[in-house]
Amino acid sequence: MAGWPDLQAFLGHLESQEELRRVRVEVDHALEITEIATRVVREEGPALVFERVRGSPYPLAINIFGSRRRIEMALGREPGAIGEELAGLVERLNPPSLRALWSAKGTLRRMLLMRTVGVRKASCQEVEEAPDLDRLPALTCWPGDGGRFVTFPLVLT
């Protein structure tokens, strides 16, 4: 399946496919999570969800796109197939014509469905409190780092 409704659904799928492990013991955001994740990546292991990050009320998912198989699960197919489809679309639409548009209608429809959708009310807006970035499970990755960093936030956006 591609087009996951939310991160929880995708994580549940990864877990059902034995591509995700939950770490239920408390871990520290300063160096410890990075050390564990680095070892798991080197062993080509699963994605991880750290359920108890010291100093944060939030769990932390890491390495969810860390293998070709997990990327294919997220996209619903091989990334190369998507690139080939887009390259083929450009070729079919050049020069532009009604016939070319008609022959590409399936791809164009899927592209239109990928757009962002605005909503007036969302569950993320239900909690109203002053923002406190220190509560996020941001990592200190390496000794000597200048502080905690939010890493790769654009992967999901």
The closest alpha carbon to 70, from 27, 114, 13, belongs to 13
Residues 32 and 85 in one domain: no
Q: Are 35 and 98 found together in one domain? A: no
Residue type, 120: R
pTM for this entry:
0.77
pLDDT of the chain, 157 residues: tens digit per residue: 557 888 999 999 999 999 999 999 999 999 999 999 999 999 999 999 999 999 999 999 999 998 999 999 998 999 899 889 889 899 989 998 999 999 899 988 888 887 777 888 887 778 778 888 889 999 998 899 888 888 765 555 4
* C-alpha neighbours within 13 Å on the C-beta side of residue 99: 3
Distance between CA atoms of residues 56 and 134, nearest Å: 8
Answer whether residue 43 is part of any domain.
yes
Same domain (yes/no): 44, 3: yes
Q: Is residue 10 part of a domain?
A: yes
Same domain, 97 and 65: no
For residue 142, tell me if it sits in a domain.
Answer: no
